[in-house]
Chains A and B, each alone.
Chain A
Amino acid sequence: MSGGERVNARRRAPWTVHAQHVLPWLMLGVAAWPTLTWYARRMIEGVGDDRCGLAALGLAVGFASVDSSGGRVAPTRARAAAVAVVGYAILARVAPPLIAALALVVTVVLLARAQRLAVARRPAWLMTCALALPVIASAQFYLGYPLRTCVSAITAQLLNVAGVDVQVEGTALLLRGTRVLVDEPCSGVKTLWTSALFSCALALRLRLEGRAALRFAGWATLCAGCATIARTVVLTLLESGATPVSEVAHVSVGLAVFAGFAFCLLWLARRPLGRFA
């Protein structure tokens, strides 16, 4: 390539780079139309907390737009993205919509990586995109019962250690003649989802990558689990008292515990980044 040609190529670069950046997204949008319409329907129907996924979507888009330091497309990653598109297309035909949507999220992240978007390197962004899907209902369905069982068992152990006589009956706790149910609204799935989103936002804000991000996520999950158990312990003790506990008290305790969790995570985030690196 002569010097003149190189100069011309450089002059042409903005147009071709733009095409390389925009066209794949448009084509992915067309290919992913069934999943996108499914997503739109789920958001419109708004079963349970599905619509909260829009907050995660907004967060993901926001961080992507702030960090859009794209460059030329990386060929190897572009091929990986193409393979992911094919994988998504197959999954979209055979798998349930949620699985196909997860595959689409992976495809989106790979495509963003191929376009050298800085944010796509961060696991927290992938997680945020996944949280944008209507996963709370499914998580409630599949994780709800095991979580309830764990929470009730650990709560009972903690209360026993503290000298309160508690027995576990499945997911229910028997104390002072009262049978306290740890049922679906108590499972901790919502707390887990919100905690995950909050920790993702913090991780993206701190630009954590690789192991550091995973370590931070581990701490965040641990904190969220502790928060759920703490809420159950406090509310179980309150409920087994003589006076009934009002709805406002339930909400207040839940929010206070969540605030404690957020404080812990912020404290962890303030530590030197080397702790997570």
Chain B
Amino acid sequence: MENAVSDAAVPPVPIADHRQSTATRDGWTVLCGVVLPILALVVELTSNICAEMFFDPLRSTLHVVGYASIAALMTWLVVCDRAAPAVLARQHAAAHVVLGVTLFFAAYFTPMLPISAVAILAIGLGFLSLSPFIVLLTLIGWLRRLHREDPALPIAARVGWCAAGLLAMVFADPLGTWTRVRLHAATTGTPVTRAVAIDQLRRYSSADVVARVFEEGLRPATDPIAYCLTDAEWNGDERLSRVVFQAFGESLPLPRGPRSRFGFDENFDVDGRFASPVLRDGFATHERAVRLQRSAYDTHVDPVAATIVTTWEIEFENPRMWPAEAIGTILLPARAVVGGLTLWVDGQPREAAFGTRSNVSTAYREVTARGRDPALVVSDGPRRVRLSCFPIPPQGRMRMRLHVIGALSPDPTGLADVALPCFEKGDFAVAADGFAPVRHSVVIAGALGVARMSPALRADAEDRLTGALTHADLAARPTVARIAVVEPTRARLWNDDSGVTWSAKAATSAVPGASAFVVVIDASRGMDGRLRAVADALDAIDPRFDVAIVLAGDRPELLTTGGISPALPTRVREATQRLRVVPCVGGRDNAAALTLALDLIGPRDDARIVWVHAPQAMSLEGESQLAIALDLASRAPRVVSIATTAVADSVLRGFREAGLDVDERVDADVGQALASAFVDVETAGAPARLVCARADDAARATGLRVEHAADIWRRLAVYDDVLRLLGTTRADHVEQAQKLAIAARLVTPVTGAVVLETDAQYPRFGLSAPEPASAEISAAPEPETYLMLALAGLALFFVRARRGGGA
């Protein structure tokens, strides 16, 4: 009956006109409902243009399927014959589902409407962002037609199908929504709720999901459900950073996987604003524009003089349109000191002036305010210096060279480690691995032979190693080679300018060796796959030692019974069996475990803490307890730190701030490092210290003359003097130390090095102008290749012209 009424209501249309109008309608549908959505989908999936500039409309696979379903439905409507009522009913229902999907995307793109309109008017682009609205108009036309053809579908069913489509899109990212809700609980709940939420995040979510969630932020448009459930603005919240670190062992914002779904790794497109490569393991924790473009080490090891000189050339690049600063902390090898800094200004190398720390810092601050060309190096704690440079010109580079001198410290067999300085943290990007990692070019020359420790290096000759290390390689093991020192037990002798003979020798530590250890073992993600090696090293521990083993989990756990007791094999094995099955996840609070270790040691003088750990990038709750425990301790505990990689560690920083002398070791093979630490600490209570003094008759009789390295030894002797003076509390000693260090051109805790733009600027800040750069200059740089090519082209043109003329 209804059909009859409906048919009667429609006026008859001539067959030719009807065919023409159908063809026009189908053509319009194909263009607006099929081609445009597919084009928008393909462009967004391949380029991520909207995701990178505004927001990600295709956050999950379901969103992609939803958007693709629009084109699928339109194709179905155009192609399929609707004569059969069942097909018509299915199409009608499907059209309402797709209506819901389209409404979702239209609502999503509503804020883009004005931008699209302006873009279309200005540059003729922006149709793709309008595609949901165009599709919506097309779909409404089709719905009217379908409703005429199939009026039997009740209104409730229509609304239901439409709501289903809409809700499918709203709930399309359940893991993202759940992660947001759990992150909120982990940051705002009670301690118990927090622990449960962190555990659930570890189990059911992942670092990639959190990275995506963090990048999308919490807005009604991105995740309305999570927005309603949490009602919190947690972006940039420090508590959130802690939670993410505890759950996944990485700091925010987390590095993402390949940005483009079809193709290039994001490291490939390093020039893009959104494509700065980021370093894992907490070094470069932000997507940063300034990046380390080039790094080249040239190390000369002298086995006779037992010295090592490293020239490290660094180049930063700034792809932005405005100037930027680069600041980084460099971990130096043991017994090494920065003895020079060269900055290239207008293509010319300029040497640094040395001055008191306050003078050089003031000079740097005031000159950077005017946007000039300074670079600064100051001490940043034991074995660390901080390098700052500004301005790296827009879309330009800044090149500098750091000179590091040091003494080799041979072991009883006469072998000495050759380690390189490396960045521990910084505010610039370094691609650690991936498609285009920064590779540190390394050349190590040792006159009498040098053996490689890093597999990435190769021996070009017996006395020369070359290779290229990624930053991940270097941070995991800064000790890249070993060298046999000639006459390792003999003191080195040299004469100063006034003819006085000096000697340098490693002094045996006055601290007695240890017979008891509290081994604190981190169970963070960075230790994954390494606990077995640690367990093996513990199984081999000498039973004469007393030992206790503490596991740094979410809460500290004492794995051995009976406190610090003899390392009986059965007792240790019980602990190591547990250790072998411990899962390494997230970032654990090592400070709490170290506090427990301090309690266990108590007043024992012969006990050491051996702490095996991955870097703890974030300050967690346990650090305040540790600080209190350190304050209350009757004497400073002796700690040996064995880290898996050279990355800034908040607990180690706390130790440094508390004035604790920590024996820091970095080695990715923590099992081997732990075994050798037991041996070292048993034989010597602390690392052997270099002692430089005027040579007495006995030293002259037995020492080895190293006049060719007198300059290096003279400066190392001054460094030794400076540290000794700073160990006292007398104020005049500080001044004396400053004078000595400035004269010897050394970066110490009280002095620094700065390069300013002109010589005239130095006196204003109480600094003496540096020695002219010509004291050490690049002699004969080649002209640029393109200039020589142009010249060669001219010559060829000349030849051709002459031959042509002759012909």
Contacts and interface: CB of A to CB of B under 8 A. Distances in A.
A198 B795 contact: yes
B83 interface: no
B788 A186 contact: no
B783 interface: yes
Query: Most A CB atoms within 10 A — which of B296, B441, B772, B782?
Result: B782
A206 B795 CA distance: 14
Nearest to B443: A145
Contact of A183 (B468, B778, B788): B778
A165 interface: no
Contacts of A170: 300, 445
Contacts of A232: 779-780
Given A251-B783, A266-B799, A142 B300 contact: no
Nearest to A193: B785
Interface string A184-198: 111111110110011
B793 to A, nearest CB: 8
Interface residues of B, number: 39
B35 interface: no
A156 to B, nearest CB: 11
Interface string A106-140: 00000000000000000000000000000010000
A58 B607 CA distance: 71
Given A205-B796, A205-B799, A247-B347, A52 B789 contact: yes
B789 A194 contact: yes
Contacts of A172: 776
Interface in A160-198: 170, 172-173, 178-191, 193-194, 197-198
Nearest to B264: A41
A225 interface: no
A255 interface: yes
B795 A179 contact: no
A182 B792 contact: no
A258 B774 contact: no
**Chain A: interface secondary structure?**
helix
A232 B784 CA distance: 15
Contacts of A263: 795
B776 A179 contact: yes
Interface in B444-483: 445, 464, 466, 468
A256 B300 CA distance: 34
A178 B464 CA distance: 26
Contacts of B782: 185-191, 228, 231, 254
A141 B468 contact: yes
Contact of B783 (A178, A205, A239, A254): A254
B79 interface: no
Contacts of A173: 779
A41 B780 contact: no
Interface string A254-266: 1100110011001
Nearest to A259: B791
Contacts of B774: 178, 239-240, 244
A255 B788 contact: yes
A126 B738 CA distance: 62
A235 interface: yes
Nearest to B795: A262
B786 interface: yes
B346 interface: yes
Contacts of B268: 41
22 contacts: A136-B785, A145-B443, A172-B776, A180-B776, A181-B776, A182-B779, A186-B779, A190-B788, A191-B782, A194-B785, A205-B799, A228-B782, A247-B346, A250-B783, A251-B787, A254-B783, A254-B787, A255-B787, A255-B788, A259-B795, A262-B795, A266-B798
Interface of B: 268, 296, 300, 313, 346-348, 436, 441, 443, 445, 464, 466, 468, 772-789, 791-792, 795-796, 798-800
Given A136-B785, A181-B778, A189-B782, 15 more contacts: A170-B300, A172-B776, A180-B777, A186-B779, A190-B783, A193-B785, A194-B788, A197-B792, A232-B779, A236-B779, A236-B780, A239-B774, A239-B777, A259-B791, A266-B798
